[in-house]
Structure 1
C-alpha cells in the first residue's frame, strides 16, 4: 500500500492550487453550470500530474530546483534575460498580488466560523486593519521562518487533509446527484457562455509556479537519497495520491454549489456567500464545514505562494538564504496589507494574469527541453512522456492565447 499511496512534496502542489481563487471558481462553475464542467477538472488533474512528475524527477535527479536548471539550460544572454524577467513578473509579482486574495479568503472563512467578535471589532476600529488577516499572516510567517522542509510539509499535509474532510463532508451533506457527477466527469461539454469558466478551472489548477515549488521541494526531501530509483518511486506514489486528492476537493466544491444553487435562480458572488447560505438549506454543520475548508484553503495558499516565489527567484538569481527568506516575507507582508486595508490591486492582478498566461506554455516548453538533456541520463523523458507533455503544451498554448486575448480586449 505504501508503495502506491503516500503524501509528500506533491501535497504542497495540491495545497498551492486549492486556494480561495480555486474555491470561488469551482463554486461559480457549479452554481452556473451544474456538474457539466467536471471534465475540465479531470483534465486539469491529469495535466498537472504529467508536468509535476517531470518537475519532481528533475529535482530528485539533479538535486536542484527548476530555476537552477533553467539557468543552466539557457545560455544566450538576451533569451536568459527575457525568461528571467518573465519568471520574476509572473511568479514573484503575480504571487504578491494573489497573496492578498489568499489571506482575504482565509479571513472570510474565519469570520464565518467565529463571527465578528467584540475583540475583532475593537482592533479593527482602532487600527483600521483586519485582525484575521494579521493573524493568518503571522501564522504563515511562523511556519516558513523555521526553514524546515519537514515542518512545512507536515503543516501543509494537515491543511490538505483538513480541506478534504471539510469539502467532501459538505458535499455528502448536500446529497449530490452522483450519476450526473459521473456524466460530467466523463462527457466533455461546454454549455453556452461557459468557455471562460473552463479556462478558469484549468488555469487555477495547472499553474507554472507549482513546477518551481515541486522541483525544489523534491530536491530538498530526497537530496540525501542514495537510491534515485526508489526516491522516484516514492515521488510517483506521492503524485498519484496528492494531486488527485486536490482534484477531489475541487470536484466536491463544484458538486456542493451545483446541488445547492444550479437551477434555483439564486446567485453567489464568492465562496463565503456559499458557506453562509448553506445553513438554511442543509443546516449549520454544512456552513461550518464549508467555512473551515475555505480557511484551510486560504492558509495553505498563503504559505505555498510566497514559498514558490522564493524558490523560483533563488533558482533564477542564485539568491542567498537571507534573500530567500526576505522574498517570502515580503510577499506575505504585501498580502497582509492588501487584505487588511481591503485594497483591490486590479491593475497588478491583470498584469499577473497576463504574465502567467505567457509563462505557462513557455515554462512547459522549457521543462520539456530540460527533461531531454543528456545529463539526466537514464532518467530523461521517453517518447510517451514527451508525447503527453507535448499535448499539455499545445493545450496550455491555446488556453494562454485565449486568456491573453480576453485580458487585452476587456
Structure 2
C-alpha cells in the first residue's frame, strides 16, 4: 500500500514538474489583475445588470490575451519593454517614465494591502482593526515576493486554481437559469451606465504592469525562439481561461443571489460576501471573503515586481527576480505599501476610495503610456526583425491602444474631481 502511495506521489510530482517546465507564467499575469478591483467590478456588473455583461468578461480575457501575446513576443524576439523604451527615448526620460509608472504600482499596492487588511478584520470578527493587518499584509508580501521565481509561479498557479474552485463551489449552489446566462454572452448594452462597467472590466483585465512583466519573465520559462510561441500561447489560453471563468462565476453569483435579494449597489468588494452570508449562510460568507483576501494578496506580488524591472532597466542595468537590487527595490516599496492606513489618516480616502481611484489613476496614466510603447515595440523592425507584427496583427493590436486612450480620456474628469474633493 505504501509503495502504491509513493508511486502515485512520484507520478503526481512528475506531472506537476512537466507542467511548470512549459506553463505557469500566465497564472502570474492573471493573479496580477485578479484582485479586489476585479471582484468589485464583476460583482457590481451582476448586481446592476444581471447576466447582461457576461460577454464583456469574455472580451476582456481576449484583450488580455492579446496584450500578453504582444509582450511575450517582444521578450522572445526582441528585448524587455523598458529596455526598448530606454533605447528609443534615452536614459533620463526612461528613468522619469519608470518613476511615474512605479508610483502607479505603489498606489495599486496601497489599495491592495488595505483590502487585505479589511478582509482579514472581517474574518476575525473585528477583533483586530484593518490598519495593523494592512501593515502585516505588506510585510507578508515582502517575504513571499523575494522567493525564487519558480516558487512564486507555483504558488500563484495554486492560488488561482483555488480561487476558481472556491467561487465555482459557491456559484454552483445557486442554480441560475441557463437560458438567461447563455443570453448574457451575446453582446448588448442595457443602458449608457453599463458602458462604464464594460470599460472597467476591460481595463482591469488588460493590466499594464503585465506588459512589462511578460516581456521579462519569458526568460524565466526559457522561451527564446519561434518554437516557443505555441507553448506560450497555450499557457496564456489556460491562464486567461481560469481567470475568465472565475470572473464569470462571481458575476453570475451576484446576478443570481444578490440582485434578486434587492441589492442594487455595492459599497465595497467585501459587500457580496456579507450579503451571501445572509442569503446562503455563514459558509458562503466565509468562503467568499477568504477568496477575496487571497485574490487581493495575490495581486500585490507581481504588480510590485514591476518597479524593480522598470527602475533597473531604465538605468541601463541588467536584472532578474534573483538579483539583490531587484529584491531590495521590491522589499522597500512593498513595505511602504503596508502604510496604506496613512492614506486614510492624512488624505481622508477610505478603502473603497482607494480600490476605485488608484486603479483608475493607473488606467489614465500607466495604461496609455505602456500600450503606445508596446505597440511601437512589436512593430519596430530593428528590434523584432522578421517577427514584427503583420498588418492584421497591427490592426487587432491597435484596438488595445485605442481602448487605453479612450478609457483615459473619459475617466480623467471623474478621478480628478474625486481626488480633489477627498474621495467618492
The TM-score, its normalising length taken from structure 2, stands at 0.83
Please say if residues 163 and 295 of structure 2, whose CA atoms lie closer than 8 Å, have aligned partners that are also in contact: yes
Query: Quick one: structure 1 residues 29 and 352, their matched pair in 2 at CA, closer, same or farther if it must change by over 3 Å?
Result: closer
- Other-structure match for 1:55: 71
| Deviation per residue, 1:85-108 (Å, 9 max, x gap) | 34432x311121221221222233
Residues 188 and 331 (structure 1), Cα distance of their counterparts in 2 relative to 1, 3 Å cut? farther
For residue 144 of structure 1, what is the aligned residue in structure 2? Answer: 145
2:366 to 355, 359, 362: 359
**Residues 230-263 of structure 1 deviation map (CA, whole Å, 9 limit, x = unaligned):** 3222111111110221122221111111112225
Higher relative contact order (CA 8 A, sep 6+): 1
Q: Pick from 71, 92, 97 the counterpart of residue 102 of structure 2.
A: 92
Q: 1:276 aligns with which of 274, 277, 283?
A: 274
- Look up the match of 1:262: 259
Find the aligned partners of 1:396 and 1:177 in 2 and give their Cα distance: 35
Post-superposition CA distance 1:352-386 (Å, at most 9, x none): 74454143233222212211223423322222211
Partner of 2:80: 65
**Contact kept in structure 1, 2:61 and 2:240, CA below 8 Å:** yes
The correspondence for 1:244, drawn from 241, 246, 261, is: 241
- Structure 2: 5+ residue stretches without partners: 1-14, 419-424
In structure 2, the residue matched to 1:388 is 396
Aligned-pair CA distance for 1:168? 1.9
Say which SS state the counterpart of residue 271 (structure 1) adopts. coil
1:17 aligns with 2:26: no
Contact 1:12 1:157 in 2 (8 A): yes
Asked if 1:324 corresponds to 2:322, the answer is no
Are 1:32 and 2:48 counterparts?
Answer: yes
Unaligned stretches of 5+ residues in structure 1: none
Q: CA deviation at 1:203?
A: 1.7
**Cα distance in structure 1, aligned partners of 2:256 and 2:84:** 46
Distance 1:6 1:40 in 2: 29
- Show the counterpart of 1:101: 111
Tell me what 1:234 maps to: 231
User: CA distance change for structure 1 residues 271 and 352 in 2, over 3 Å: closer, same or farther?
Assistant: closer
Answer yes or no: is the 8 Å Cα contact 1:338–1:344 preserved in 2.
Answer: no
Give the aligned partner of residue 284 of structure 2. Answer: 286
